[in-house]
Structure 1
Amino acid sequence: MNRLLRGCLIAAALSLAPFPAAAVTGGQVVKDPNGLRRSVVLIESSNGELCSGAVIGPDLILTAAHCVLQRAAYRVVTVDRRFRKRSIRAVAAALHPSFIPGTTPRTQPGIDLAILKLGENLGPDFAPLDPARSYGLSEGEMVDLAGFGLSAEAAKGSARVLRATRLVSLGTLQAANRVVVVADQRRLAETTGAGACRGDSGGPIVRNGPGGYQLLGIVSWSSGALHSRTPTACGGLTAVTPVSEHGEWITARAQDLRRLNGEQTIGWASRPRTNTFDWSMR
């Protein structure tokens, strides 16, 4: 794609006021029990907020930091091979220390990443994605997005269903923070196409290859298309926090969280104090 055209599309779409991402617009319901079903979960707060997340360990979920900022109880909902749902309580979390609560994911200068610790293991039916296997995402590369968000802005009852779609990388964008931008390959954010929607924040962007799925990034925010007829956060650009650039933090915090037993919680802090155990769910 022409770099000048890509830059113009991104700048124009950003003027439409992006939002934290929700459900997969233009995607297909995941029906393969051996596919992304094994590596993607739904995150719910007791206040009714929805996000998605990527399994990175038997009891660890990588998601977006803005998904776990509320003073609320959190749970992770999984689907088994028969797509029956199971709920597991989250007992602690590590929020990236650079993330600033009270700002939007697009305008805040910190890293939009967090790790949830679950009260019990997911079990052998799930396949963690290894952040250590994450590599950079090239412009023009095709990737897959998965999440439990809305299928369209107006489809309020469509969330809580795992959907996936294929998108193309438009390259990196340095706004308040560095992200990789992906979009529908045919529409390129000019008109509404495939992309993240409300509820897809925290969901994974993956590359599918001979060795299985490779985790590339975590969805942070999304925008409507340049020529969308109505204000929307869906079907335009999807902004992704690249995992490969933050592997050291992910590895260190995951190790810290593994040391907790399933019943421990870490108290809420008024602001992040250290890189470890910045927030927890009670």
Structure 2
Amino acid sequence: MLTSLLYLHIFCYITTLLLPLSAQRAQSLPKVISHHNHSEEFVIPPELANAVYNESRMLIAGGYRPSKNNLSKYVVSIRTARATAYFGDNHFCVGSIISDNLILTAAHCVVDRRKIITRPHRLLVVAGAQNRFMKHAATLEMKVSAVLPHPNFIRKGVHDIALLRLADHFPDDNDFVKIIPLLRSIVEPGTLCQIIGWGQLFYR
């Protein structure tokens, strides 16, 4: 029962990852056209109004590289335990910091097609890295002590949510690593949202 309640609360909180904007503000925002043919006109939030489009292929599809990385402190890069050639080449998923030792992510990141859960020692969580290929003084590499996918997760279906419990706690004095503010209410359908993460526009 406790586990069910935990996932219920976490499910409600997941909407906070998208940092919703009001409909009134959305009407006055600048508009751009996606470089994808199948995409329609969409609105850029104020935080990204000064974003500079980068032809680099290391982007989220349809995304823009912001001029200010003021939101990256809330997210982590989830990686395999060891890089194969250089820092950041082992990245495969993104998570959000919801407490000083809990990461919220997608279940499909940690459960394979055979329904086998990734073992904690095979994972590494990297926080405080605005550019996932660059390590600096504020970057933290954290080991994982437990992998907790939703018990009713169905691949390409429902309950695609999981928690990673870290072996240690994030410090309070790191300005590049912060717990994401959580909403106390449900986000209304149709609310304009903002998504942050790392991606790539090519196949390996």
What is the TM-score normalised by the length of structure 2?
Answer: 0.52
> Are residues 1:28 and 2:64 paired?
yes
Code of the residue aligned with 1:116 in structure 2: it is: L
**Aligned-partner SS, 1:38:** helix
Which has a greater percent of strand?
A: 1
Root-mean-square deviation (CA, aligned residues, Å) is 3.1
* Corresponding residue number in structure 2 for 1:96: 150
Q: How does 1:98-117 map to 2 (within 5 A)?
A: 98-100=152-154, 103=155, 106=156, 108=157, 110-117=158-165
- What are the superposed Cα offsets for residues 50-71 of structure 1, whole Å, 9 maximum, x if unpaired? 0001110011110001111253
Aligned to 2:22: none
Deviation at 1:153, TM superposition (A): 3.0
Q: Please, which of 112, 116, 121 is the counterpart of residue 169 of structure 2? A: 121
Give the aligned partner of residue 135 of structure 1: 186
Aligned partner of 1:61 in structure 2 is: 103
The residue aligned with 1:40 is: 75
User: What are the Cα deviations for residues 162-184 of structure 1, in whole angstroms up to 9, with x where unaligned?
Assistant: xxxxxxxxxxxxxxxxxxxxxxx
8 Å contact from structure 2 (residues 77, 91) kept in 1: no
**Residue ranges of structure 2 left out of the alignment (5+ in a row):** 1-37, 40-57, 83-89, 112-116
Rate the CA distance shift 1:133–1:63 in 2: closer, same or farther, 3 A: same
Aligned residue type for 2:144: A
* Aligned-partner residue type, residue 165 of structure 2: K
Conserved 8 A contact 2:75-2:197: yes
Partner of 1:51: 93
Cα deviation, residue 131, structure 1 = 4.2
Q: 1:79 and 2:135 equivalent? A: no
- With over 3 angstroms needed to count, the CA separation of the structure-2 counterparts of 1:97 and 1:131, relative to structure 1, is farther
Structure 1, unmatched stretches of 5+, are 1-8, 11-21, 157-282
Q: Aligned residue pairs: how many?
A: 127
- CA drift at 1:130: 4.3
The verdict on how the C-alpha distance between 1:90 and 1:132 changes in structure 2, with shifts beyond 3 A counting, is: same
- Aligned partners of 1:31 and 1:123: how far apart in 2? 26
Distance 2:126 2:142 in 1: 6
